[in-house]
Structure 1
């Protein structure tokens, strides 16, 4: 929809507001980083725990997430499913776009009003450390209000006729329900049916995923009638008001800092020096680079951007098919879904109450298996050595080794930190960001203050996008729980498994996550289905760490599967390749990865050997 691509804020007032939201989101992220690092240092070196640090860090994250999401909305960066709406005739598409823009404005304004109201209602209440509770809700409400202003500006930018048609569509749909309820209340579908219909229709209509999830929850609240609106705001805040989730913006920040300070380029250059001359060497470099970058930044699209921006142009220079290169890039991103510190593993650990360290260990061997398969195929069907050698840069070897060693030190810090127990995943991610800043400024001398600040702005926007989807999914998960949907799903799956065997449950779970991963953003699919399926798996005797890894890989396959996979579209944009040129090669790579997934799913030792060896 046009809302998802309207990249510029046209009016001077909203341009100023965008600058303000950028600065607020980045400043809150920087303050969060300082609070977490300071808290760890005070606790570990001076034995003086800072009791208020967790509460302040969580409150700053909620505010930063909503201001960052507002900036992302203004720039048109919200992910949505454009496949279906683009097939509509031009007139119908414009009406759908206008209706979607109106709905985004309504949802953002409703969230803002109720978040501010919740702040007022909680005045005088305190957190566990004694800080005012309303400090969490007022920044959230202000960020959502900015989001509503940006959404309204996008509506007003459209021609008056399109605004009227979009508004009319929304009003007619609402009036049709009210008339049906007034004339024949006994025949009105139950709330969960209306939720499902609303979610599917708006998602296919191109509404950004986070807003489609929020609208589904709001449909239940509005139709059911007994829940106050502040419950919606409360659940959205609750969805991201958790110290564990701070690892997401910090690891995303690490990815941007690595790109800005030259760590990414140095690692790729070294890999090209080491294996670029072998048969299929450039493809081997691509897979290996994704292994390394996923172990550093944790952000999938940051990894794809860092590797693809260097190696896809290199593939063009060596006269390789760029569509093939982008397909391998996307497949490598699927492979890297379970390499620590992947954000989706952190999210799954949070929503399903699993050990994040255990998930990190459980994901290593499965990722190694898939990486080995991709490397083997790359060598078997790769280009000749002479062609690959043409793209090897003539950089200074000493400089590349220095950069690589310093970059690999970041990976060592992450894994040693987890195993030693010195810090949590969130605290390690904060020190990883500090390490990237120090390395860029002091060692490489390539990270200026302005460049570092831009990294904070980009990271706040990107993490705001992710965490807004998490918040919206939590509001939907809450109303699904009220309707006992998880209980019904569990009963149905257990009954099916008793009659057909656990293998059928495993296959069904894989199919659900592949399909939902292709339709939803990865985090949303895991937030909705992880808590539904993991308790069933535990009842059936499937180890939670093993099953969690299977879910994350299945979601990754869906995320990069044509024709709907949002990740594949992102990889094509980064590689500047039409998606049509990637479909044939990506299907071959995904088939290989699916075969690996089946092996991982039905041989639990692949994912459980390392966690058991390390005591998880």
Structure 2
């Protein structure tokens, strides 16, 4: 993106430079505040845990303050993500388009959000004004202090979008993208009187047609959902548009979701402090002498690291740089490496504290503690099927083996790894024993990880702390904006009566419960590849989980099935974004992993079918 801005003649060079300086100054200020909010949220929640569990007192204001700051963190993080171009979007088609069309699509990916931000800014201001009449119970401050984050974030994103569009490309492409957006919006507005009588056919027009076109064009997914919801409510109903803002607020500010930035932060922290490296070194010493042993280590390391971080990007970034150089030296092919890394990303989607588990508990009301307990064994089952594929692929003599290290070396690496290996068990025990909630427990992990890095591993790099906090805010903002937009979209679908029709259609499927689970697996594989994981869960979870209950499917069992199916779609090429993330982290061309990954994906699909057929795997330990 930066190279395109430097080479494509857009606005005059003097104006472009001034815009660049202004955007850089504003962006740095927003990044500083967003990173600071991550740190403050960590301190506030950890202080609440200490006060309650150690001093047997409670900070009645801590959750309220955390909730207020959380909405600001979500919106400012979304601004940082927009500035960095890190909002989730499907780029598979755009990157394969001819250069001229690709430039137009890049401009469209900025112009379409501008329209949404312009349309929503005034209702967001009205919403903040309305919230001023509500006073918080503990701190006794107006609700507008929190709600003001919405118009502030939208306004800052609008400034960033306009600046980027002016600097992005040639005048023809910029004007072409703006003209296309205005033409489509104008066409829908003129067609408004004809749309209203169509009833639920509008659901296909807006939530299937418009969303599909914008997603395939490369528009960030959050804005695709937002534009579809805004258009549907504005043109076919009499619902006040401020309701969209309210639903976004509700979706983004649920306190359970505060675990998202905190676990992202924890994932980066264990990589920085060397805890992940210590675990991987122990596993490598234990299994590295076995034929293909480091492949088994990769599967096991992803399982363990996922039990700490909850974020797949953090997991892969912690494991791949440590293992891949040694695996290459032993003759492993780059395509096999990235294929297995992507497959383990899909395998570990149910390992607590997965962000998807936290999200699904937030939007469906399923106990997060039950999800944490139920997710361990399904992940182990998929690890087993991946290991079977690894064993079959290494049955020949294609990969060299290393000599088994002395028992003393294995024991030494185990002792070094013990503090790191203890962290997943500490997190799980803290939740089960009631020491902390699923939201707060991440702060215990952060405090433990920081102390371990400072006192045990001596690898705490203070210079990296600021960038890590900013990266945490950016990723969290991108995720939470999608959740907010998808919450509004799911509410509109529910109000339309679609959920009742969907329930009736799913109940009428042949095969009863088995047919319902089979269709759910296929549907979430597709949704996971197109919408990515969290948007698919937020959008369809509230609709499908009540149907699963009526079909006699345990909600935790159903959660495991749909999460694993979604993970397969997320990490399967050619559309799965997770696969390309694995390639980027590994610095391996996506083409090299296309062929070897399908064996792993088939194994994961078979494992998911087994988990769907045997509910005990998911609910046996509840």
* TM-score of the aligned structures, taking structure 2 as reference length: 0.92
Q: Cα distance 1:311–1:112, how it changes in 2: closer, same or farther (>3 A)? A: farther
Q: Hey, what does 1:338 align to over in structure 2?
A: 350
Q: CA deviation at 1:379?
A: 2.9
Counterparts of 1:131-280 in structure 2, within 5 Å, are: 131-157=141-167, 158-181=169-192, 190-195=201-206, 196-224=208-236, 226-280=238-292
Which shows bigger deviation, 290-299 or 173-182?
Answer: 173-182
Could you list the per-position Cα deviations for residues 393-418 of structure 1 after superposition, in whole angstroms to 9, with x for gaps in the alignment? 9x987874444111112112111112
Instruction: Kindly tell me the number of residue pairs found equivalent between the two proteins.
Output: 607
Which shows bigger deviation, 406-415 or 127-136?
Answer: 127-136
Distance between the aligned counterparts of 1:145 and 1:457, measured in 2?
20
Distance between the aligned counterparts of 1:82 and 1:218, measured in 2?
24
Contact 1:52 1:131 (C-alpha < 8 Å) held by counterparts:
no
Where 1:489 maps in the other structure, the secondary structure is helix
Contact 1:290 1:332 (C-alpha < 8 Å) held by counterparts:
yes
Could you list the per-position Cα deviations for residues 559-616 of structure 1 after superposition, in whole angstroms to 9, with x for gaps in the alignment? 01111001001111111122221121111101011111111101111111111xxxxx
Q: Hey, what does 2:452 align to over in structure 1?
A: 439
Q: Cα distance 1:111–1:457, how it changes in 2: closer, same or farther (>3 A)? A: same
Q: CA deviation at 1:515?
A: 0.3
Distance between the aligned counterparts of 2:290 and 2:213, measured in 1?
50
Q: Hey, what does 1:614 align to over in structure 2?
A: none
Q: Hey, what does 1:23 align to over in structure 2?
A: 32
Q: CA deviation at 1:385?
A: 9.8
Is residue 2:508 matched to residue 1:508?
A: no
Distance between the aligned counterparts of 2:63 and 2:365, measured in 1?
19
Could you list the per-position Cα deviations for residues 175-201 of structure 1 after superposition, in whole angstroms to 9, with x for gaps in the alignment? 323344468976799532331211111
Is residue 2:411 matched to residue 1:389?
A: no
Distance between the aligned counterparts of 1:55 and 1:359, measured in 2?
26
Q: Hey, what does 1:470 align to over in structure 2?
A: 483
Contact 1:559 1:567 (C-alpha < 8 Å) held by counterparts:
yes
5+ residue gaps, structure 1, are 612-616
Distance between the aligned counterparts of 1:188 and 1:417, measured in 2?
50
Distance between the aligned counterparts of 2:177 and 2:2, measured in 1?
13
Could you list the per-position Cα deviations for residues 534-566 of structure 1 after superposition, in whole angstroms to 9, with x for gaps in the alignment? 111111111111111101100101101111001
Which shows bigger deviation, 263-272 or 245-254?
Answer: 263-272
Q: CA deviation at 1:346?
A: 0.9
Is residue 2:120 matched to residue 1:107?
A: no
Of 527, 544, 548, the match for 2:559: 548
Q: CA deviation at 1:487?
A: 1.5
Distance between the aligned counterparts of 1:551 and 1:516, measured in 2?
10
Q: CA deviation at 1:221?
A: 2.6
* TM-score of the aligned structures, taking structure 1 as reference length: 0.93
Could you list the per-position Cα deviations for residues 425-455 of structure 1 after superposition, in whole angstroms to 9, with x for gaps in the alignment? 1111111111112222232222133222222
Is residue 2:569 matched to residue 1:558?
A: yes
Distance between the aligned counterparts of 2:144 and 2:58, measured in 1?
24
Distance between the aligned counterparts of 2:459 and 2:552, measured in 1?
52
Distance between the aligned counterparts of 1:609 and 1:5, measured in 2?
54
Distance between the aligned counterparts of 2:2 and 2:530, measured in 1?
18
Q: Cα distance 1:43–1:255, how it changes in 2: closer, same or farther (>3 A)? A: same
Q: CA deviation at 1:149?
A: 1.4
5+ residue gaps, structure 2, are 8-15
Q: CA deviation at 1:329?
A: 0.7
